[in-house]
Structure 1
Amino acid sequence: MRDFFEDLGKRLGETAESLTNRASEVVEVQRIRGQIRALDRNNERDYRDIGRMIYEKYKNGEVIDTEMVCICEEIEKREATAEEMEQMIADSKGTTVCPNCHANLTPDMAYCPQCGEKVPEEEEEPEEEAAGTEAEVAEETAEEAETAAAPESEEA
Protein backbone atom coordinates (compact mmCIF):
# COMPACT_ATOMS: atom_id res chain seq x y z
CA MET A 1 0.00 0.00 0.00
CA ARG A 2 2.87 2.32 0.80
CA ASP A 3 4.35 1.74 -2.69
CA PHE A 4 1.04 2.71 -4.23
CA PHE A 5 1.02 6.08 -2.47
CA GLU A 6 4.69 6.70 -3.26
CA ASP A 7 4.05 5.92 -6.92
CA LEU A 8 0.95 8.10 -6.89
CA GLY A 9 2.94 10.94 -5.32
CA LYS A 10 5.66 10.67 -7.97
CA ARG A 11 3.10 10.68 -10.77
CA LEU A 12 1.32 13.70 -9.32
CA GLY A 13 4.65 15.50 -9.01
CA GLU A 14 5.58 14.70 -12.62
CA THR A 15 2.17 15.84 -13.83
CA ALA A 16 2.41 19.09 -11.88
CA GLU A 17 5.90 19.72 -13.29
CA SER A 18 4.67 19.02 -16.83
CA LEU A 19 1.75 21.42 -16.38
CA THR A 20 4.07 24.09 -14.99
CA ASN A 21 6.38 23.77 -18.00
CA ARG A 22 3.46 23.98 -20.41
CA ALA A 23 2.06 27.03 -18.62
CA SER A 24 5.47 28.72 -18.88
CA GLU A 25 5.53 28.08 -22.62
CA VAL A 26 2.04 29.54 -23.03
CA VAL A 27 2.98 32.64 -21.02
CA GLU A 28 6.11 33.16 -23.15
CA VAL A 29 4.14 32.86 -26.39
CA GLN A 30 1.56 35.36 -25.11
CA ARG A 31 4.33 37.76 -24.08
CA ILE A 32 5.83 37.62 -27.58
CA ARG A 33 2.39 38.03 -29.19
CA GLY A 34 1.87 41.14 -27.01
CA GLN A 35 5.13 42.58 -28.29
CA ILE A 36 4.07 41.88 -31.86
CA ARG A 37 0.73 43.65 -31.29
CA ALA A 38 2.59 46.68 -29.90
CA LEU A 39 4.83 46.75 -32.98
CA ASP A 40 1.77 46.53 -35.24
CA ARG A 41 0.06 49.40 -33.38
CA ASN A 42 3.16 51.57 -33.80
CA ASN A 43 3.21 50.77 -37.52
CA GLU A 44 -0.44 51.73 -37.86
CA ARG A 45 0.29 55.06 -36.14
CA ASP A 46 3.18 55.72 -38.52
CA TYR A 47 1.05 54.77 -41.54
CA ARG A 48 -1.46 57.41 -40.44
CA ASP A 49 1.35 59.97 -39.92
CA ILE A 50 2.75 59.29 -43.39
CA GLY A 51 -0.66 59.72 -44.92
CA ARG A 52 -1.30 62.94 -43.01
CA MET A 53 2.10 64.38 -43.99
CA ILE A 54 1.69 63.47 -47.65
CA TYR A 55 -1.82 64.90 -47.75
CA GLU A 56 -0.74 68.15 -46.08
CA LYS A 57 2.07 68.55 -48.61
CA TYR A 58 -0.32 67.77 -51.44
CA LYS A 59 -2.88 70.21 -50.07
CA ASN A 60 -0.25 72.96 -49.80
CA GLY A 61 1.05 72.27 -53.32
CA GLU A 62 4.45 71.21 -52.02
CA VAL A 63 6.66 68.64 -53.63
CA ILE A 64 6.71 65.40 -51.66
CA ASP A 65 10.31 64.57 -50.77
CA THR A 66 12.30 62.19 -48.60
CA GLU A 67 11.08 63.41 -45.19
CA MET A 68 9.12 60.19 -44.78
CA VAL A 69 12.18 57.97 -45.22
CA CYS A 70 12.83 57.75 -41.46
CA ILE A 71 9.27 56.67 -40.73
CA CYS A 72 9.37 54.11 -43.53
CA GLU A 73 12.65 52.72 -42.17
CA GLU A 74 11.13 52.37 -38.69
CA ILE A 75 8.15 50.53 -40.15
CA GLU A 76 10.46 48.13 -41.99
CA LYS A 77 12.47 47.49 -38.81
CA ARG A 78 9.33 46.70 -36.80
CA GLU A 79 7.99 44.44 -39.55
CA ALA A 80 11.28 42.50 -39.61
CA THR A 81 11.28 42.21 -35.82
CA ALA A 82 7.68 40.99 -35.82
CA GLU A 83 8.55 38.35 -38.46
CA GLU A 84 11.49 37.16 -36.35
CA MET A 85 9.22 36.89 -33.31
CA GLU A 86 6.61 34.94 -35.32
CA GLN A 87 9.39 32.56 -36.34
CA MET A 88 10.42 32.20 -32.67
CA ILE A 89 6.86 31.19 -31.81
CA ALA A 90 6.73 28.74 -34.72
CA ASP A 91 10.09 27.23 -33.73
CA SER A 92 8.95 26.77 -30.12
CA LYS A 93 5.80 24.99 -31.33
CA GLY A 94 7.57 22.90 -34.00
CA THR A 95 5.62 24.62 -36.78
CA THR A 96 6.44 26.88 -39.72
CA VAL A 97 5.18 30.33 -40.69
CA CYS A 98 3.19 31.12 -43.85
CA PRO A 99 5.36 33.37 -46.06
CA ASN A 100 2.26 35.31 -47.13
CA CYS A 101 0.15 35.96 -44.01
CA HIS A 102 2.52 34.72 -41.24
CA ALA A 103 0.02 32.22 -39.82
CA ASN A 104 1.45 29.22 -37.94
CA LEU A 105 1.39 26.03 -40.03
CA THR A 106 1.87 22.44 -38.94
CA PRO A 107 4.30 20.27 -40.93
CA ASP A 108 1.47 18.25 -42.53
CA MET A 109 -0.21 21.30 -44.14
CA ALA A 110 0.18 21.74 -47.90
CA TYR A 111 -1.72 25.07 -47.98
CA CYS A 112 -2.19 27.85 -45.43
CA PRO A 113 -5.69 27.66 -43.91
CA GLN A 114 -5.73 31.46 -43.47
CA CYS A 115 -4.79 32.72 -46.95
CA GLY A 116 -4.56 29.61 -49.14
CA GLU A 117 -0.89 30.12 -49.98
CA LYS A 118 0.98 26.92 -50.94
CA VAL A 119 3.35 25.93 -48.14
CA PRO A 120 6.96 25.79 -49.34
CA GLU A 121 8.46 22.33 -49.12
CA GLU A 122 11.24 21.55 -46.67
CA GLU A 123 14.76 22.70 -47.52
CA GLU A 124 16.10 19.14 -47.58
CA GLU A 125 14.66 18.47 -51.03
CA PRO A 126 16.87 20.96 -52.93
CA GLU A 127 19.91 19.20 -51.47
CA GLU A 128 18.63 15.87 -52.80
CA GLU A 129 17.94 17.45 -56.19
CA ALA A 130 21.44 18.90 -56.23
CA ALA A 131 22.88 15.46 -55.54
CA GLY A 132 20.80 14.06 -58.41
CA THR A 133 22.03 16.85 -60.66
CA GLU A 134 25.65 16.08 -59.79
CA ALA A 135 25.09 12.42 -60.64
CA GLU A 136 23.50 13.39 -63.96
CA VAL A 137 26.45 15.67 -64.78
CA ALA A 138 28.91 12.87 -63.96
CA GLU A 139 26.92 10.45 -66.16
CA GLU A 140 26.81 12.94 -69.05
CA THR A 141 30.56 13.56 -68.71
CA ALA A 142 31.23 9.82 -68.87
CA GLU A 143 29.02 9.49 -71.97
CA GLU A 144 30.82 12.40 -73.64
CA ALA A 145 34.18 10.78 -72.90
CA GLU A 146 32.99 7.49 -74.44
CA THR A 147 31.65 9.32 -77.50
CA ALA A 148 34.91 11.22 -77.95
CA ALA A 149 36.94 7.99 -77.65
CA ALA A 150 34.72 6.03 -80.12
CA PRO A 151 35.62 8.00 -83.30
CA GLU A 152 39.36 7.65 -82.54
CA SER A 153 39.08 3.83 -82.36
CA GLU A 154 37.19 3.71 -85.68
CA GLU A 155 39.92 5.71 -87.47
CA ALA A 156 42.67 3.36 -86.29
Structure 2
Amino acid sequence: MDATVQTLLDKIRVVADKTSKAAGRAADAAGKKATELASATRINLQIFDLNTECEVLYKEIGRMVYEVHQGAEIANDEIDGRIGQVDEKQAKIASLREELSGMKSFVTCPSCGRQCSKDDSFCSSCGGAL
Protein backbone atom coordinates (compact mmCIF):
# COMPACT_ATOMS: atom_id res chain seq x y z
CA MET A 1 0.00 0.00 0.00
CA ASP A 2 1.19 3.48 -0.84
CA ALA A 3 2.60 5.43 2.16
CA THR A 4 0.38 8.42 1.43
CA VAL A 5 -2.74 6.24 1.48
CA GLN A 6 -1.59 4.58 4.70
CA THR A 7 -1.03 7.99 6.35
CA LEU A 8 -4.47 9.14 5.22
CA LEU A 9 -6.09 5.97 6.63
CA ASP A 10 -4.27 6.45 9.95
CA LYS A 11 -5.52 10.05 10.17
CA ILE A 12 -9.06 8.90 9.42
CA ARG A 13 -8.83 6.28 12.20
CA VAL A 14 -7.61 8.90 14.68
CA VAL A 15 -10.43 11.31 13.76
CA ALA A 16 -13.01 8.49 13.95
CA ASP A 17 -11.71 7.48 17.38
CA LYS A 18 -11.89 11.06 18.69
CA THR A 19 -15.37 11.47 17.22
CA SER A 20 -16.66 8.29 18.85
CA LYS A 21 -15.25 9.34 22.23
CA ALA A 22 -16.84 12.79 21.92
CA ALA A 23 -20.17 11.21 20.97
CA GLY A 24 -19.94 8.92 24.00
CA ARG A 25 -19.29 11.86 26.33
CA ALA A 26 -22.20 13.77 24.80
CA ALA A 27 -24.51 10.78 25.28
CA ASP A 28 -23.42 10.44 28.92
CA ALA A 29 -24.05 14.14 29.54
CA ALA A 30 -27.48 13.93 27.90
CA GLY A 31 -28.35 10.91 30.04
CA LYS A 32 -27.32 12.67 33.23
CA LYS A 33 -29.30 15.76 32.27
CA ALA A 34 -32.40 13.66 31.51
CA THR A 35 -32.13 11.89 34.87
CA GLU A 36 -31.71 15.22 36.66
CA LEU A 37 -34.69 16.69 34.82
CA ALA A 38 -36.85 13.67 35.70
CA SER A 39 -35.91 14.03 39.38
CA ALA A 40 -36.68 17.75 39.33
CA THR A 41 -40.04 17.08 37.71
CA ARG A 42 -40.89 14.47 40.34
CA ILE A 43 -40.04 16.93 43.12
CA ASN A 44 -42.03 19.73 41.51
CA LEU A 45 -45.06 17.44 41.25
CA GLN A 46 -44.75 16.58 44.93
CA ILE A 47 -44.59 20.30 45.78
CA PHE A 48 -47.67 20.94 43.63
CA ASP A 49 -49.60 18.14 45.35
CA LEU A 50 -48.64 19.39 48.81
CA ASN A 51 -49.68 22.95 47.92
CA THR A 52 -53.03 21.63 46.70
CA GLU A 53 -53.51 19.75 49.97
CA CYS A 54 -52.67 22.95 51.89
CA GLU A 55 -55.30 24.86 49.93
CA VAL A 56 -57.92 22.29 50.93
CA LEU A 57 -56.86 22.60 54.57
CA TYR A 58 -56.99 26.41 54.39
CA LYS A 59 -60.57 26.20 53.15
CA GLU A 60 -61.51 23.80 55.95
CA ILE A 61 -59.92 26.09 58.55
CA GLY A 62 -61.70 29.09 57.10
CA ARG A 63 -65.04 27.24 57.15
CA MET A 64 -64.48 26.28 60.79
CA VAL A 65 -63.59 29.84 61.78
CA TYR A 66 -66.71 31.12 60.04
CA GLU A 67 -68.85 28.50 61.79
CA VAL A 68 -67.40 29.63 65.14
CA HIS A 69 -68.24 33.21 64.15
CA GLN A 70 -71.81 32.05 63.47
CA GLY A 71 -72.00 30.57 66.96
CA ALA A 72 -71.24 26.91 66.23
CA GLU A 73 -69.26 24.93 68.77
CA ILE A 74 -66.06 23.58 67.23
CA ALA A 75 -63.33 22.09 69.36
CA ASN A 76 -60.04 23.97 69.28
CA ASP A 77 -58.32 20.62 68.80
CA GLU A 78 -60.05 20.25 65.45
CA ILE A 79 -58.77 23.60 64.17
CA ASP A 80 -55.36 23.06 65.75
CA GLY A 81 -55.15 19.65 64.06
CA ARG A 82 -55.75 21.19 60.63
CA ILE A 83 -53.21 23.94 61.34
CA GLY A 84 -50.70 21.27 62.39
CA GLN A 85 -51.30 19.45 59.10
CA VAL A 86 -50.61 22.66 57.18
CA ASP A 87 -47.40 23.18 59.17
CA GLU A 88 -46.24 19.63 58.36
CA LYS A 89 -46.97 20.07 54.67
CA GLN A 90 -45.23 23.46 54.55
CA ALA A 91 -42.15 21.92 56.21
CA LYS A 92 -42.16 19.13 53.61
CA ILE A 93 -42.46 21.71 50.82
CA ALA A 94 -39.49 23.63 52.23
CA SER A 95 -37.49 20.41 52.40
CA LEU A 96 -38.35 19.52 48.79
CA ARG A 97 -37.44 23.03 47.61
CA GLU A 98 -34.10 22.73 49.37
CA GLU A 99 -33.51 19.37 47.69
CA LEU A 100 -34.42 20.93 44.36
CA SER A 101 -32.06 23.87 44.86
CA GLY A 102 -29.28 21.41 45.69
CA MET A 103 -29.54 19.93 42.22
CA LYS A 104 -26.92 21.20 39.82
CA SER A 105 -29.11 22.77 37.17
CA PHE A 106 -31.49 24.72 39.40
CA VAL A 107 -31.33 27.91 41.44
CA THR A 108 -33.91 29.51 43.71
CA CYS A 109 -35.25 32.93 42.74
CA PRO A 110 -34.34 35.41 45.49
CA SER A 111 -37.55 37.36 44.86
CA CYS A 112 -40.29 34.72 44.81
CA GLY A 113 -38.59 31.45 45.82
CA ARG A 114 -39.45 29.61 42.59
CA GLN A 115 -36.99 27.07 41.20
CA CYS A 116 -35.37 28.15 37.93
CA SER A 117 -32.74 26.75 35.61
CA LYS A 118 -29.17 27.89 36.26
CA ASP A 119 -29.05 28.87 32.58
CA ASP A 120 -31.85 31.43 33.13
CA SER A 121 -30.93 35.05 33.74
CA PHE A 122 -34.42 35.95 34.97
CA CYS A 123 -37.12 34.09 36.90
CA SER A 124 -39.87 32.68 34.67
CA SER A 125 -42.42 33.36 37.42
CA CYS A 126 -41.73 36.91 38.65
CA GLY A 127 -39.13 38.20 36.17
CA GLY A 128 -36.60 38.93 38.92
CA ALA A 129 -32.89 38.74 38.18
CA LEU A 130 -31.29 35.45 39.18
1:69 aligned to 2:77? no
- 1:8 aligned residue: 19
- 1:40 aligned residue: 51
- 2:112 aligned residue: 101
- 2:33 aligned residue: 22
Deviations 1:13-67, CA, capped at 9 Å, x for gaps: 11011011011111101100000000000000111111122223332x1355412
State, as a whole percentage, how many aligned pairs show the same letter.
Answer: 25
SS at match of 1:62: coil
How far apart are the structure 2 equivalents of 1:115 and 1:11?
37
Unpaired runs of 5+ residues, structure 2, are: 1-11
RMSD: 2.6
How far apart are the structure 2 equivalents of 1:5 and 1:115?
45
TM-score, normalised relative to structure 2 = 0.71
- The structure whose Rg is larger is 1
SS at match of 1:12: helix
How far apart are the structure 2 equivalents of 1:115 and 1:21?
28
SS at match of 1:102: coil
- 1:124 aligned residue: none
Q: How many pairs does the alignment contain?
A: 110
- 1:151 aligned residue: none
The answer to which structure, 1 or 2, has the higher relative contact order (CA under 8 A, 6+ apart) is 2
